[in-house]
Every structure is written in C-alpha cells, then in structure tokens.
Amino acid sequence: MKKIVLLLAIITITISSCKKETPNPAQKIYKVKYTMVCTDCEVIYVSDTLGTQSTAYHQNSSWSYTFNAKENQQLLFLAYNQSANPQGVTATILLNDSVLATQTTYCPFNGSAFCADTAR
C-alpha cells in the first residue's frame, strides 16, 4: 500500500511540475496592397505570408495586388519599366490602406522603383 501511495505521489508531483505551455497571443495580421504608376512594367513582389516571390510582366497602372501579411513580415515590391519609351515609375506599398512606402524614379532609359519595409 505504501508503494502505491508513493507512486501516486511521484506521479502527482511529476504532472504538476510539467511546464504548461500558454498559447501565444494572436499574431497581428495586416492588409498589404501593392500599387504602381507605369504604362508597361514588370513587377516583382512578396505575395504571401511565406515570403513567396511572384513576378508579373507587362502590367500597367491598373495592376494592384492585395494579401494579408503577418506582423514583422518583410515586404518587397519592385516595378521595372519594360517599355521602349522612357517613363517615370512609381511603386507604393499600402499597409491597412495607409501608405507605408513609396518611391518614384524618372530615368531616360529603364526606370525602376523599389520599395521595402516591414509590416508593423
């Protein structure tokens, strides 16, 4: 009987001393939107929470891309002039509908605009 009581005491102490994991607070999610001003551009951008890089060719100012990013995720967006004509190129990253980063470049040959920032 003493062995059973001792065994139960050891099991109780072991179970109560186990580290209990507390759930992490919910990670913030941010709405990210990429937009550009360009007549014929290649766009390269991070397109999801895994950091996947995507590319789209021969896009114009009607192009935009929206996804949900996690907190502290790196956001990258490049718009590159593919037209034979010189043009200004503007790339913009919006975070929850507010401008996070924007760049405009005017180049007589191949203009490109690059934005990078972190979702926070």
Do the domain assignments include residue 8? no
In a domain, 32, yes or no: yes
Residue 15 domain-assigned (yes or no): no
The number of distinct structural domains making up the chain is 1
Kindly report the CATH number assigned to the domain that includes residue 99: 2.60.40
- Alpha carbon 48 to its chain centroid, in Å, reads 6
pLDDT tens for 14-33 read 555 555 444 456 778 999 99
The Cα 94–Cα 59 span in angstroms is 18
20 inside domain: no
Determine which helix (DSSP H) or strand (DSSP E) holds 91, and give its type and residue range.
strand 87-95
Which of 44-58, 76-90, 94-108 ranks highest by mean pLDDT? 44-58
Question: Is residue 9 in some structural domain?
Answer: no
Query: Does residue 93 sit within a domain?
Result: yes
pLDDT tens digits along 30-75: 999 999 999 999 999 999 999 999 999 999 999 999 999 999 999 9
Residue numbers of the domain that contains 100: 28-118
Cα distance between residue 68 and residue 95, in whole Å: 10
